[in-house]
Amino acid sequence: MLDLQTVWGAIAESFRKVSTPVTYSTWIASAQPISLINHQLTIKLPSALHKDYWESNLTQELVEFAYQATHEDIQPDFVVDIDPVETATRKTTSDNANENVPTFMKETKLNPKYTFDTFVIGKGNQMAHAAALVVSEEPGAMYNPLFFYGGVGLGKTHLMHAIGNKMMLDRPNTRVKYVTSEAFTNDFINAIQTKTQEQFRQEYRNADLLLVDDIQFFADKEGTQEEFFHTFNSLYDDGKQIVLTSDRLPREIPKLQDRLVSRFAWGLSVDITPPDLETRIAILRNKANADHIDIPDDTLSYIAGQIDSNVRELEGALARVHAYSKLKNTPISTDLVAKSLKSLNLGNSHAEITILSIQNAVASYYHVSLADLKGKKRMKSIVMPRQIAMYLCRELTDNSLPKIGTEFGGKDHTTVIHAYEKITESLKNDTNLQNEISDLKNELKR
């Protein structure tokens, strides 16, 4: 006989090990086991949204963890908690009553360091910077929403905060609301759980400037998208400015509702691409000055030459080099940096994988010329390697889609999206293709 509490204890523990604390507390801790009868595990969840989430994201793991705990095939059955009396009792008797305080009640602060003054303008971000400046001066007028997209650590959040900081400085009464898409989701769920949806709406819909970071995490979250759609409409209709960031274009975000994709296109979408060498040196110089780190120019150039994709890594390298010099009690020099980057194993991970290195590897693997790979020929023997190369560029580098298209003989970014989707789809069933891509990845990472 399987004991409900023991089985659930084991399952919850397995989830805890593989989940982030936020995921665990938002989705898993609120689930209540009700019964385990004839291999059917009934679980009570606090809302329909939770049920959706469990069904689409957690069921497979649940069955797996249940099997690990019992060596039996257990099927879940989710029911939604609709007993308001019991919900209220549970809320008041909860030991962790504070957890129920909606997070949107807490003040969200902008990072005061992320300003236009501390932002270094270069080729990859000048459009984004110019648009951000316009929006901070004339919010709600020209570019609404303003949408920044691009690889990780390239300054999207920085620019978004710079808009907020400038508006607060110019008009101190401006109500600025900054959230990540995950925080928006959590606020929304808390509002449902604590029946404070009205406060949630007030909080978001009364903002003069709403900044939502990393909206790619709205993927798959139907209920949150629905709520965000109404938030967006309400702000937009009132002429309030909305700024969004994502690691990709809206239409590339899986399962983002079409009506959101089209609304996001009403304003201006600008990509941010990795900084060139001069910009990287300038960013490092600024950072060194701000942190009072004494470092010769040639050493700055050396670091900027080693780390070429991501500004966060660039800053991280400087901080580590600084720490290393303190540890060794030696002033920073190029020699010391070379040693410290080596000992810290920095600057050699993804820096070597570039569009060109991918094109070369794919061309030689499939015996096609580089010119054909970048050209327009439509034979299958060339189209397939071309699509694979585009797919790998998207997977293994931080380059934007337009940039990848350009490097493939000036193709449109939609061609790159098509290639990426085609290969992703084929990879699901085609084992030969799986092996070939795996060979290529190994080759590139060697």
Q: How far apart are CA 370 and CA 250, in angstroms?
A: 31
Smallest distance, ligand ATP to C-beta of residue 183, A:
13
β-partners of residue 76 are: 41
Please say which residue, 283 or 363, places its beta carbon nearer to ligand ATP. 283
Q: How far apart are CA 244 and CA 229, in angstroms?
A: 13
Smallest distance, ligand ATP to C-beta of residue 275, A:
6
Q: How far apart are CA 92 and CA 100, in angstroms?
A: 10
Smallest distance, ligand ATP to C-beta of residue 102, A:
24
Q: How far apart are CA 182 and CA 374, in angstroms?
A: 39
Which residues are at the interface with ligand ATP (CB under 6 A)? 114, 118-120, 125, 152-158, 214, 247, 283, 311-312, 315
Please say which residue, 120 or 393, places its beta carbon nearer to ligand ATP. 120
Please say which residue, 49 or 160, places its beta carbon nearer to ligand ATP. 160
Residue, CB closest to ligand ATP = 155
Smallest distance, ligand ATP to C-beta of residue 217, A:
11
* Token duo for residue 104: 């949107």
CA nearest to 420, candidates 394, 384, 381: 394
Task: Establish whether 155 is an annotated binding residue.
Answer: yes
Q: How far apart are CA 324 and CA 317, in angstroms?
A: 10
* Token duo for residue 125: 């971000």
Please say which residue, 65 or 119, places its beta carbon nearer to ligand ATP. 119
Task: Establish whether 223 is an annotated binding residue.
Answer: no
Q: How far apart are CA 27 and CA 193, in angstroms?
A: 11
Q: Which helix (H) or strand (E) is 150 found in, with range?
A: strand 146-150
Smallest distance, ligand ATP to C-beta of residue 120, A:
4
Q: What is the per-residue DSSP string for 233-290? A: HHHHHTT-EEEEEESS-GGGSTT--HHHHHHHTTSEEEEE----HHHHHHHHHHHHHH
8-state DSSP, 57: I
8-state DSSP, 114: -
Smallest distance, ligand ATP to C-beta of residue 283, A:
5
8-state DSSP, 110: P
Task: Establish whether 113 is an annotated binding residue.
Answer: no
Smallest distance, ligand ATP to C-beta of residue 158, A:
4
Q: Residue 411: which residues within 8 A CB-CB, separation 6 or more?
A: 405
Output the known binding site for ATP: 153, 155-157
Output the known binding site: 153, 155-157
